[in-house]
C-alpha cells in the first residue's frame, strides 16, 4: 500500500499539467463556465475577471505539479485542497449554472455532468493517499503499475478525450446499424428528440450550416446529445445539439459546432425565440 501511495504524485502531476495546458491555451473557455457567475458575488465585472481567475488556476496547477514531481510533501496537501475546490466548483456549476461547461482541461461544449464531478472526486481520492507517502514516486516500484488503471479511469471520465476512444466506437456502431434503430436509455424515441431540435432556436441558428440528417445520438447525465454533419467557414464540422430530458421547452436546447479535433468552432450565445 505504501508503494501505491508513493506513486500517486506522478499521476496527479501529469493530470494537473494537462489541465493547466488546456486552460492556458484556451482561456476564452472561462466565460463558458460558471466562473463569471461565481465571481459576480465579489466583483461587478465577473466576466472580465473570469479569464484572469482561469489563468491563475492554471498557474497554480503547474506549481503544484512541480512540487509533486519534486516529491515535496506540501505538493500532495495542496493537491488535496485544489481537488476539494474543483469538486465544490463543479457541484456549484451543475446546480446553479446547469448550462455552463466544465472548462477543466480544454475546449468542451458539454454542460457539467456527473462524469466531470466523478473525475474531480477521483483526483481527490488519489491525492489523499499521497499525503501519507514516505517514499519518492520514482521509488514506488510496482506501485507505478496501479497508475495505469487509474489513468484509464481518468480517461473514461474525461469528456475532452472522448474523440480519441468513444467517438470511434460510436462511429463503428453507426456503420454496423442504422442510427434510427432502437431508443436511448431513457426510452424517449429519437423522433421525439428530433422534433424538439427542429423546433428550437438553436436549430434555426445553425440550420444553414447543416449538411445531413441525424448522424448519431447518445444520453449522458440527463441530456440527449444529437449530432449532424455540418460545414463552418469552409471546413467540415459536426453540429452537436444538447437536449435536456427534464426541460421540454425549445429554448432549453443548446448547440455547438466542433471540428474534427473536437474543438468548438462556433457556439451561438444568443438564440432568437422567433
Residue 100, pLDDT score: 84
One domain for residues 148 and 193 = no
Give the predicted TM-score (pTM) of the model: 0.68
132 and 197 co-located in one domain: no
Domain boundary among 133, 166, 199: 166
Instruction: Please indicate, yes or no, if residue 68 is contained in any of the structural domains.
Output: yes
Would you say residue 171 lies in a domain?
no
Q: Are residues 219 and 98 in the same domain?
A: no
Residues 133 and 202 placed together within one structural domain of the fold: no
Same structural domain, 15 and 92 = yes
What is the per-residue pLDDT for 180?
Answer: 47
Structural domain includes residue 174: no
Q: CA nearest 151: which of 165, 169, 138?
A: 165
Give residue-wise pLDDT tens across range 123-137: 999 999 999 988 899
Model pLDDT, residue 124? 96
* Contact predicate 7/71, CB 8 Å: no
Give a yes or no: residue 176 inside a domain.
Answer: no
Q: State the cell numbers at 113.
A: 455532468
Q: Could you give the count of Cα atoms lying within 13 Å of 217 in the half-sphere of its Cβ?
A: 26
CA distance 243 to 240: 10
What is the pLDDT at residue 274? 38
Domain around 252: 182-266
82 and 30 in a common domain: yes
Q: Does residue 94 form part of some domain?
A: yes
pLDDT of residue 91: 95
Report the pLDDT value the prediction gives residue 183, as an integer from 0 to 100.
Answer: 45
> Residue ranges of the chain with pLDDT lower than 50?
178, 180-181, 183-184, 272-274
What is the Cβ-side half-sphere exposure of residue 181, based on CA atoms within 13 angstroms?
7
* Same domain (yes/no): 261, 145: no
Does residue 274 fall inside a structural domain? no
Q: Are residues 153 and 201 in the same domain?
A: no
Looking at the structure, tell me whether residues 137 and 256 fall in a common domain: no
222 in the same domain as 99? no
Q: Report CA Rg, the chain.
A: 20
Q: Quick one: pLDDT at residue 160?
A: 82
Shared domain check, 247 and 141: no
For residues 196 and 159, state if they share a domain: no
Number of domains in the chain: 2
Amino acid at each position: 500500500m505504501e508503494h501505491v501511495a508513493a506513486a500517486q504524485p506522478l499521476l496527479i502531476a501529469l493530470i494537473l499539467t494537462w489541465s493547466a495546458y488546456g486552460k492556458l491555451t484556451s482561456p476564452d473557455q472561462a466565460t463558458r463556465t460558471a466562473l463569471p457567475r461565481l465571481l459576480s458575488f465579489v466583483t461587478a465585472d465577473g466576466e472580465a475577471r473570469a479569464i484572469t481567475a482561469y489563468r491563475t488556476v492554471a498557474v497554480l496547477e503547474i506549481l503544484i505539479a512541480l512540487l509533486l514531481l519534486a516529491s515535496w510533501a506540501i505538493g500532495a496537501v495542496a493537491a488535496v485542497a485544489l481537488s476539494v475546490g474543483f469538486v465544490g466548483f463543479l457541484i456549484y456549476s451543475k446546480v446553479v449554472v446547469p448550462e455552463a461547461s466544465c472548462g477543466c482541461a480544454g475546449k468542451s461544449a458539454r454542460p457539467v455532468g456527473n462524469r466531470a464531478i466523478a473525475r474531480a472526486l477521483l483526483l481527490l481520492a488519489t491525492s489523499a493517499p499521497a499525503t501519507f507517502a514516505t517514499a519518492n514516486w520514482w521509488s514506488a516500484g510496482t506501485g507505478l503499475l496501479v497508475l495505469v488503471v487509474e489513468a484509464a479511469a481518468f480517461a473514461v471520465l474525461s469528456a475532452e478525450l472522448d474523440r480519441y476512444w468513444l467517438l470511434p466506437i460510436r462511429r463503428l456502431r453507426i456503420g454496423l446499424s442504422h442510427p434510427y434503430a432502437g431508443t436511448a436509455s431513457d426510452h424517449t424515441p429519437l423522433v421525439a428528440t428530433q422534433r424538439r431540435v427542429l423546433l428550437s432556436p438553436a436549430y434555426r441558428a445553425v440550420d444553414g450550416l447543416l449538411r445531413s440528417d441525424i448522424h448519431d445520438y447518445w444520453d449522458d447525465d440527463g441530456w440527449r446529445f444529437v449530432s449532424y454533419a455540418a460545414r463552418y467557414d469552409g471546413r467540415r464540422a459536426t453540429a452537436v445539439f444538447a437536449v435536456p430530458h427534464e426541460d421540454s421547452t425549445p429554448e432549453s436546447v443548446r448547440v455547438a459546432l466542433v471540428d474534427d479535433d473536437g474543438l468548438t468552432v462556433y457556439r451561438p450565445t444568443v438564440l432568437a425565440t422567433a
